[in-house]
Amino acid sequence: MQTFNTLLQSLQPAELERVAPHFERVELKRGDVLFESLAPIGHAYFFESGLSSEVATSDGKSIEIGCVGREGFSGAALALGVDRTPHRSFMQAGGEALRIPASVFQAKLEENVAFRHTVLRYVHVFQVQIAATALADGRSTVEQRLARWVLMAQDRLGDELPLTHEFFALMLGVRRPSVTDAIHALESTRCIRAERGLVTVRNRKTLEALAGGSYGVPEAEYDRLIHAP
């Protein structure tokens, strides 16, 4: 099976072929819900393209705690033997995914040791990403956090990011005027260009300098555990 999902690509061909017949290729649009809070998770989605957001909600307000693109999959709770989570997941940018029913996914994790080890390594990386988000929310400025999220989105989508101000407000947990101010601050350094519903990355090195230590730890952990030979 050919795939653009880098997590699946890290499997040996024989191990991938053991699970390949159970995947269904689906097209996902912006706004499509992958799972709802405390509702049974129906499928695990291994993304070929696009960007999903996992959000936590309290008192009717939501904030993004993690994002997933073609480096991973949505439905990490399933890999831990859990059928639901207080979080919610939906698509911020549409794309293709390989999905597998939750029950089949969990059965294949039990049967296929290599598949299970790879999936659990990614679950660890996703937990590191959630922790990095909490650290950034508590210690970094809005501009630094925006630079971090733009870098994360670029990693998954490329230089042109079809992301709205509403997304950035959800992502950063701030009001839209603060988002506008942060976008203008980044534009003034010429590292991005922002238009309605589209952010274009112009200078990644400047973005990395602006993000500082808020970006890079989960990415390094992914490279160490999944990309490393």
Neighbours of 177 (CB within 10 A): 10
Contacts by residues 156-161 (CB-CB < 8 Å, ≥ 24 positions apart): 156/50, 156/51, 156/67, 156/68, 156/69, 156/70, 156/71, 157/50, 157/51, 157/69, 157/93, 159/200, 159/201, 160/198, 160/199, 160/200, 160/201, 161/93, 161/198, 161/199, 161/200, 161/201
Over residues 15-58, the pLDDT tens digits come to: 999 999 999 999 999 999 999 999 999 999 999 999 999 999 88
- Residue ranges for the chain with pLDDT beneath 70: 228-229
At residue 174, the pLDDT reads 78
In the chain, what are the domains? Answer: 6-136 (2.60.120.10), 139-220 (1.10.10.10)
pTM above 0.75, yes or no: yes
Q: How many residues does the chain have?
A: 229
